[in-house]
Structure 1
Amino acid sequence: MIAGAQTVYAVRTAMDELALNEAMDRYACGDARAFPELHRALAARLLAYLTRMSGSETLAGDLTQETFLRMHRARSSFARGGAVAPWAYAIARNVYLDHARAQKHRGTERLPSDPGAEPPDARGADAEAVAIASETARAVERTLAGLPASQREAFILIRYEGLSVQDAAAVLGTTTSAVKLRAFRAYEALRAALDDLKRRPEAEPGGAEERRRGKGQGSVRGGANVE
């Protein structure tokens, strides 16, 4: 059942990408009516990507608008019959890099975060499970922020944006082997961070509660003679 659902999803995704590519072909030929189709298909994806890269959804909104503006200006250079997604992500990446360089020049550069790993809503959920999930999300965010930009980009494009290794390589302007290596190193760094988190007492089931109880019992027993 799961395999069948995955197959259906893959077919639908391929059909969506085909329709997107056809819309871009029309837009590149001057059909302005194709733009709403492109915007509906790409806006949320590019916003999510730029949010993860910049660490700010507000900033990402501005960068997304700039991305569509650059796509419009470059539409005549689009290779008709090609794939839109890698082309659009490459433009979005250049928009982000231009912004990052400008911010660095001004001395106001900020590290990106991972909004895709935000802590879950605690309402109606087990408090300890939420605490563990929140700490896991923070560990992922810290690790991603500390990665070299090349590794972080490869990871985000493949893991979060769902691009193939080949498409990610096209976005990053490098080889598939380089993308695989960068993504692998990012995965290894995340795995090490999460393994380290699991070894902490607070990450064990009941660990945080047991530590709190232990502190409370220690304060009670502190003045008593325990044989």
Structure 2
Amino acid sequence: MPMPASESDQQRDQRAALSAAMDRYADGDAKAFGEIYDLLAPRLGAFFLRHTRDHAHAEDLTQQTLLQMHRARQSFVRGSDVTPWAFAIGRRLLIDSRRRRKNEVLFDSADDGAGALHLRVSRDAIPEEVASTKQMAARASAEFERLPEPQRAAYQLVRGDGLTVAEAAQVLGTTASAVKQRVFRAYEALRATLGIGDAADPQGNER
């Protein structure tokens, strides 16, 4: 099985900055919250918006996540990775919200399947190309819905939300190896549905 791409320098720097800010916030530095918000809120907001398709609800869930982080700040283990912790809180809130709001979908596949496989329609595309791409998107969407929930969750966190494999593993309460396997199987299923060849793995590495 191909190995996922390594963490970029920018991701590593952001992770370190977020961890340092959370350490200061847990120690009583109220000003550190601004740094936490700037580094984390956009990612949480995008995560919630992708799953709810509702800007107001996504913002509300983001605020709820940050509020729960605030309430739990004194129990935060200094030096720990903040992103998996925050996304685990957010995912629980999203699941609870889904139970209350039956008209929303936790893993909306309209963009997840097709978007993750980089299906795009150019502004100059002819009608036949547009129709073909929409058909492929519909097939990917249907296939994504048929995937087991663990595969959908792992694929979305890694490919859709930009978490590292290690971060996704912490969010899902499993091992990095299990996440890699789930992402790979989900990608293989989507690729087979679209008839895409064996060019690259879901992390962009040559196979």
- Please tell me the TM-score bracket, short chain as reference: 0.7 to 0.9
Quote how far apart the aligned CAs of 1:157 are.
Answer: 1.1
Q: Which amino acid aligns with 1:137?
A: A
Deviates more, 1:177-186 or 1:140-149: 140-149
The one-character-per-residue Cα deviations of 1:122-156 (angstroms, maximum 9, x if unpaired) are: 64544444433333333333333333322111001
> 1:58-137 to 2 correspondence within 5 Å?
58-103=56-101, 108=103, 110=105, 112-114=107-109, 115=111, 117=115, 123-137=123-137
**Residues in 2 aligned to 1:109 and 1:16: alpha-carbon distance in whole angstroms:** 31
Gaps of 5+ in 1: 1-5, 197-227
Paired residue type of 1:112: F
Q: How has the CA–CA distance of structure 1 residues 135 and 36 changed in structure 2, closer, same or farther, with 3 Å as cutoff?
A: farther
What letter is aligned with 1:25? D
CA distance in 2, matches of 1:62, 1:139: 32
**Which amino acid is the alignment partner of residue 46 of structure 1?**
L
Letter in 2 for 1:81: G
| Deviation, structure 1 residue 83 | 1.0
Query: Paired residue for 1:51?
Result: 49
Give % identity: 45
Q: State the TM-score, normalizing by the size of structure 2.
A: 0.76
Residue among 39, 51, 66 paired with 1:41: 39
The answer to whether the 8 Å contact 2:98/2:106 transfers is: no
C-alpha separation between the residues in 2 aligned to 1:100 and 1:27? 31
Is the contact made by 1:49 and 1:156 (CA closer than 8 Å) also made in structure 2? no
Bigger Rg, which one: 1
With over 3 angstroms needed to count, the CA separation of the structure-2 counterparts of 1:79 and 1:161, relative to structure 1, is same
Q: Is 182-191 or 128-137 further displaced after alignment?
A: 128-137
1:144 match: 144
Moved more, 119-128 or 88-97: 119-128
Three-state SS of the structure 2 residue aligned to 1:32 is: coil
C-alpha distance in 1 between matches for 2:37 and 2:69: 11
Equivalences for 1:136-215 in 2 at 5 Å?
136-195=136-195
RMSD: 2.8
Q: For 1:181-204, what per-residue CA distance to the aligned partner results, in whole angstroms no more than 9, with x for missing partners? A: 3222211221122129xxxxxxxx
TM-score by length of 1: 0.70
- Aligned-pair distance for 1:97? 1.4
Q: State the AA in 2 paired with 1:148.
A: P
- Tell me whether 1:32 sits opposite 2:42 in the alignment: no
Give the C-alpha shift of residue 120 in structure 1: 5.6
Query: CA shift at 1:159, angstroms?
Result: 1.1
Kindly provide the CA deviation profile for residues 150-172 of structure 1, in whole angstroms up to 9, marking residues without a partner as x: 21110011112222222211111
Q: 1:181 to 1:123 in 2, by over 3 A?
A: closer
